Structure 1
Amino acid sequence: MDLPLHPLIVHLAVVLVPLATILLGLAVFIPRLRDQIGALAAVLALLGIGAFVLAHRSGTELAGLVGVPHEHMRWADPALAVTIVFGSLTAIWYILWLLLRRPSRRSQSGLRTATTTLGLLALASGIAACVFTVLLGHSGGEAVWSNVPTAPSLWRSL
C-alpha cells in the first residue's frame, strides 16, 4: 500500500518501552510479582530495542525522501542509546534474578545486592528511555503535523 515503514514501526517502540518500564518497576518493587512479570519486562525491553533500531533506520531512510526534520533527528540517537541500555540492563537483571532464585544461591548477599542495584539502574534507564521517547515522539509529531491547519482555522476558512 506504499506506506513508509517509519510511522508504523514508531508506535511499536512507543508502546513497548513504557510498558516494559512499568512492568520492570512492578517487578523490582513487588517481589511476589517478579516470577510473573520479570520475564515479560525483559522480553518487552529487548523487543523495544528492536523496534527502536527499526524506527531509527526507517526514519533515516524516510528523511532522505521527504527532508530532514532536524529537531526530531536530534533526539533519535540519544533515544536509541538509552533504550539499548535499558533493554540490556533489564535482561541482565532478570538473568541475575533467575540465578538468585536457585536455592544454593539465595544466601549470597553479594548476588542479592547486585540484583537489587541492577534492577534500580535498569528502572532508572527505563524512565530515561520513556522521557527520550516522549521528546522524540513529540518532535516527530510536530514535524509531521505543524503545517496542518487546526480545527478553528479550518472553521474560519469555511
Structure 2
Amino acid sequence: MEIMGLPLHPLVVHAVVVLVPLSALAGIVISAWTAARKRYGWLTVAFAAAAAASTFVAQEAGESFAATFARKTEAMETHINLGGTLLVWVIILFVGTAAVMLAQRLIDQQNPRGRVALIAGGVVTAISAVVSIVQVIRIGHSGSAAVWGG
C-alpha cells in the first residue's frame, strides 16, 4: 500500500493521531454538556466515524507495510501488537457518541428513558475515550521507537 512511492501507513497515521484524540475529547464534552451536545454532537459523531475509518486504514496499511520486512525487531513487534488494539476502542467511541446523540433525541421527545440512555452512552464514551487516547500515545511511542530507536 503506497501513495506516490511512499508507504501509506506513516502517512495515514497522522489522521489517527489527530482524529482519535479530537473525537475522544469532544465525546467527553458532549456527554457532559447539553449545549455542546446540541451544537456539536453530530459533528463529534462524524469525527468519531472518520477516526474509526482512519484507524482501520492505518492498521491495514501497517500490516501490509510490516509484511515487507524480512525480519522484525522487538520494537516493531511491540508496535504491531499495540496497533492491533486501537480499532476496537475507536469503534466503541463511535458507538458511544452516537448513543449519546440518540439519547438526546429521546430527551428532546420527553422520553423518560432518555436520561438513562444518556448516562449509559456517556459512560461508554468516557471510558473508550480515555483508553483510545492512552493507546494512541502508547502506539505512537512504540512506532517512534521502532523507527528511530529508543
The TM-score bracket by the shorter chain reads 0.7 to 0.9
Q: Which position in structure 1 is the counterpart of 2:94?
A: 87
* Unaligned segments of structure 1, at least 5 residues: 148-158
How far off is 1:92 after superposition? 2.5
* Unaligned segments of structure 2, at least 5 residues: none
Instruction: Provide the C-alpha distance between the structure 2 equivalents of 1:137 and 1:45, rounded to a whole number of angstroms.
Output: 19
Letter in 1 for 2:10: P
Residue 98 in 1 paired to residue 101 in 2? Answer: no
Q: Is the 8 A contact 1:9 1:51 kept in 2?
A: yes
Equivalent residue for 1:143, pick from 139, 143, 146: 146
Q: Which position in structure 1 is the counterpart of 2:24?
A: 21
Letter in 1 for 2:19: L
Q: TM-score if structure 1 supplies the norm length?
A: 0.84
Q: Which position in structure 2 is the counterpart of 1:43?
A: 46
Q: TM-score if structure 2 supplies the norm length?
A: 0.88
Worse overlay, 47-56 or 32-41: 32-41
CA offsets 1:22-77 (integer angstroms, 9 cap, x no match)? 11222122211111111111111111110010000000000011354101011112
How far off is 1:109 after superposition? 2.6
Q: Is the 8 A contact 2:52 2:87 kept in 1?
A: yes
- Give the count of matched residue pairs: 143
Residue 114 in 1 paired to residue 139 in 2? Answer: no
Relative contact order (C-alpha < 8 Å, sep 6+): which is higher? 2
Q: Is the 8 A contact 1:43 1:91 kept in 2?
A: no
Equivalent residue for 1:54, pick from 36, 53, 57: 57
